[in-house]
Amino acid sequence: MARPVNRISPFNITSLALGLAFLYLPIVILVIYSFNASRLVTVWGGWSLRWYTEFFNDRAMLDAAWMSLRVAAVSATVATLLGTLAAIGLARGERFKGRSLFSGMLYAPLVMPEVISGLSLLLLFVALNAERGFWTVTIAHTTLTMCFVTVVVQSRLASIDRSLEEAAMDLGCDPVKAFLSVTLPLIVPAIVAGWMLAFTLSLDDVVIASFTTGPGSATLPIRIYSEVRLGVKPQINAICTMVIALIAVVIVIASFASKLSSLRGESAAPL
Amino acid sequence: MTEESPEITPKANGVTGPAKPEPPSQAPVGPAPQLEPAADMPLLRIEGVGKTFGSFRAVDRLSLDIRAGEFFALLGPSGCGKTTLLRMLAGFETPDEGRILLGAKDIAQVPPHLRPVNMMFQNYALFPHLSVKDNIAFGLKRAGMARAEIATRVAEMVALVKLEGMEKRKPDQLSGGQKQRVALARSLARRPQVLLLDEPLAALDKKLRESTQLELMDLQRRLGMTFIIVTHDQEEAMTMASRIGVMDAGRLEQVATPRELYEAPHSRWVAEFIGDVNLFDGEVGWRENNRLLVTTREGVTLAVTEPRQRVTKATVCVAIRPEKVKLSRRAPVSDAANSHAINRLEGVVTDVSYLGGLTAYKVKLESGAVVRASMANTARLDMDAYLAGQRVVAWFTPDDCMVLEQ
């Protein structure tokens, strides 16, 4: 980078501070207010862990949180599995006919408005007469997050030299063993990063989940959303703070995994 | 693992000793009949092999025999099919036609992991997640070798390529030259019957390349192994190989020793590809003893020695290497008997390039043709050097001329 850009000037400091404040001030306020003792969201009444205890006593909220975690874990796992296979197919497979069409279709959910995805899935489930609940949300989230996994894993695969697999075959591995013993260890960090990404995406999602869930199986974001409509309770702040903490942890782990993968090979997965 | 590759599984009674040069007889590990091919039978026989990618004919019905213990180089410009041929030997490409016989077995359709052949890759293809030791041991583990035996063999290979103390390092902690050695050790560890080397020195700098060339030759001689190297660098091929196959457009133009290739090329293409050459197109005049008189297009008559194979065509091309063209200020004093035999071309020096060991001159003849001559700088203070603009006589003997019919 050029020198002048690195120089710390008052202008740079100010714009950095403003930028960070714009991004993180709302979150900081939310976190602070989650420790508010007052019943009124906007009035500060001293420090307290009251709303955290309230959350852990709120059966419905706990169920929703548990539901969200289960959906996120299952859909992230399935999406990682399918997304990795798709990435391998696209990066390593023969140049089959309709390959670019296939990859375009795979990436469609990246740019598709969630309302449309959610609505079309809802129509599908209704047409299939499927009972809406845990599984429908999980399937919907798998379709949403799979393409993200594919992007991460495919870019990692593209950076791995094909001749590594050839060398493994030359040294006595059949193609499957060559993949397992050479390529797979090299893309594991990208797969882990992909899983984490899928997990957080699923945990966040409210639009698709609200289309595809059924009575009695609300995810945490849906539950929060419906509570907020009746007025923001300080308890919501506490829940949001915990979700933020969880996602922060996952993101940190994912970026470490991605770092690790870039240390092992030439370039990192984009994360 | 034993079920997949019976012929490369090393013998149970360890042939490995302490780290020392291997006697040649132990080098290739394979079934007995392939170990000692009959005297007239080559180790590797390529028969009418062809490969087409789409509409591009990469290798065109090529046949070649390679003897056991040979250091063979495939030389050619990029895109001539040499790498495709090597990849077919390794098993990464399947020929569309023809046979590849290793010993008595046709391996053309055998997948790479079942071939008693190993390859050293151009970019080394070291496994980045494995240490030097594990990289070298990779193929041995696959062959189902016992743990203790693997350790001995790895130590032996590490000593062979002089990488002691580096065993624990990962590839990205090695220099280019060290990576090259690991790649070499890894491909030699299984004691293949044939080692294929794809531009093995292309990524090294000039000095390192020269010393590595000598080491590779030394290694090949000590192990008595068959090496097939692909290169586009003619100096590299000439230095290392005992025989060179020059390829162009999927075909072998000539297979010969380096000296033969340089001094007696079969075709105009080979003469131009290997080293520098002056070419004169002309008509064969009359014959006298074993001399031919060729009248060039420029109207000069050159006396050349007729090659062993009699010239049949009327139009030929006379080729002469620059270092065989001598320059002098006056025509050389010729004794009467030989005077008609020395070719003398008068001209003016137009270009002088001092290259250290030698000086290259360009001489423009009266006919307009340009002759290149190079002279070794044998004295530090060379009073004999010619200057641009000077009138000189370029001369050469009939024996130094090559007659090319194609």
Position B332 scores a pLDDT of: 64
Sign of the CA dihedral running B59, B64, B67, B69:
negative
Q: Which amino acid is at B10?
A: P
A140: nearest Cα among A92, A198, A62: A198
Judge whether B141 and B113 are in contact, CB under 8 Å: no
B337/A7: higher pLDDT: A7
Contact A244, A31 (CB under 8 A): yes
Q: What is the largest CA-CA distance in chain B?
A: 79
> What is the radius of gyration, based on Cα positions, of chain A?
22
Q: How far is A171 from chain B (nearest CA, A)?
A: 4
Angstrom CA distances, B11 to A236, B7, B30, B116, B143, stand at 71, 10, 9, 14, 11
Q: State the helix-helix crossing angle for A59-92 and A234-264, rounded to 10 degrees.
A: 20
Q: Where does B144-290 show beta strands of DSSP type E? A: 194-198, 226-231, 243-248, 251-256, 278-288
pLDDT band at B39 (very low <50, low <70, confident <90, very high): low
B92 vs A: CB within 8 A = yes
Decide if A172 and B190 are in contact by the 8 Å CB cutoff.
Answer: yes
pLDDT digits (tens, 9 = 90+) for B202-252: 888 888 888 889 989 998 998 889 999 999 989 899 999 999 999 999 999
State the pLDDT at residue B28: 41
Please tell me if residue B127 touches chain A, with a CB cutoff of 8 Å.
Answer: yes
* Residue B11 sits at the chain A interface (C-beta within 8 Å): no
DSSP state of A183: I
Closest chain A residue to B119, measured at CA? A170
- pLDDT at position A4 is 53
Burial of residue A38 (number of CB atoms within 10 Å: 0-12, 13-18, 19+): middle
Give the number of other CB atoms < 10 A from CB of residue B40: 5
Mean pLDDT is lowest, of A189-193, B37-41, B276-280, for B37-41
**Average pLDDT, whole number, for chain B?**
84
- pLDDT score of B333: 62
Q: Which residues of chain A have pLDDT under 70?
A: 1-6, 94, 258, 260-271
The sheet carrying B278-288 orders its strands as B301-305, B291-296, B278-288, B315-320, B402-404
Helix (H) or strand (E) holding A259: helix A234-264
Is the separation of the CB atoms in B92 and B117 below 8 Å? no
Q: Around Cβ B267, how many Cβ atoms within 10 Å?
A: 16
User: Is residue B322 over pLDDT 90?
Assistant: yes
Q: How confident is the model at residue B25 (pLDDT cuts 50, 70, 90)?
A: very low
Contact B267, B234 (CB under 8 A): no
Spell A61-98 as b/e; 16+ CB within 10 A means b: beebbebbbebbbbbbebbbebbbebbbbbbbeeeeee
Task: For residue B236, count CB atoms less than 10 angstroms from its CB and return exposed for 0-12, middle for 13-18, buried for 19 or more.
Answer: buried
Confidence of residue B371 (pLDDT cuts 50, 70, 90): very high
Q: Do residues A136 and A70 touch, judged by C-beta distance below 8 A? A: no
What per-residue confidence (pLDDT) applies to A2?
A: 46
Specify the residue for token string 């100096």.
B235
In three-state secondary structure terms, A164 is: helix
Asked if the Cβ–Cβ distance from B129 to A166 is below 8 Å, we say no
Q: In this complex, do A172 and B186 lie within 8 Å of one another by their Cβ atoms?
A: no
**Neighbour count for residue B342 (Cβ, 10 Å):** 16
Minimum-distance CB partner of A264 among B5, B122, B128:
B128
Best residue of B5, B135, B138 to probe chain A, by most A CBs closer than 10 Å: B138
Kindly indicate the confidence band of residue B21, based on its pLDDT and cuts at 50, 70 and 90: very low
Contact B142 A265 (CB under 8 A): no
Angle at B74 between CA B355 and CA B402, to 5 degrees: 60
B134 touches chain A (CB under 8 A): no
A172 with B127: Cβ contact below 8 A: no
User: How far is B322 from B315, CA to CA, in rounded Å?
Assistant: 22
For residue range B123-150, what is the model confidence (pLDDT) as tens digits?
899 999 899 999 999 999 988 889 999 9
B156: tokens are: 């032996």
Confidence of residue B51 (pLDDT cuts 50, 70, 90): very high
How many beta carbons lie within 10 A of that of residue A5, not counting itself? 7
What is the spatial distance between Cα A68 and Cα A210, in angstroms, rounded to a whole number?
12
Give the residue with greater pLDDT, A216 vs B198. B198
pTM for this structure?
0.77
Is it the case that residue B18 has pLDDT exceeding 60? no
Residues B80-101: tens digit of each pLDDT: 999 999 999 999 999 999 999 9
In this predicted structure, the answer to whether residue B31 has a pLDDT above a threshold of 50 is: no
d(CA B181, CA A125): 60
Looking at the predicted structure, is the pLDDT value of residue B323 above 90?
yes
Instruction: List B392's β-bridge partners, or say none.
Output: B347
Query: Residue B190: which of A168, A171, A186 has the nearest Cβ?
Result: A171
Q: Please, what's the largest Cα pairwise distance for chain A?
A: 71
Chain B partners of A178 at a C-beta cutoff of 8 Å?
Answer: 113
pLDDT of residue A122: 93
| Residues 159 through 178 of chain A touching chain B, CB cutoff 8 Å | 161, 163-164, 166-174, 177-178
- Name the token pair of A132: 């809406």
What value does the mean pLDDT take over residues B325-350? 74
Q: Do A172 and B142 touch (CB under 8 A)?
A: yes
Chain A to chain B, count of Cβ pairs less than 8 Å apart? Answer: 66
Range scoring the smallest mean pLDDT among B17-26, B126-135, B166-175, B252-261: B17-26
A262: DSSP letter: H
Which residues numbered 195-254 in A keep a CB inside 8 Å of some CB on B?
Answer: none
Please name the residue that has the structure tokens 């129509």: A123
Q: What residues of chain A lie within 8 A of the CB of B83, using their CB?
A: none
Specify the DSSP element, H or E, that contains B96.
Answer: none
Q: Does B54 touch chain A (CB under 8 A)?
A: no
**Spatial distance between the Cα atoms of A176 and A90, rounded to a whole number of angstroms:** 17
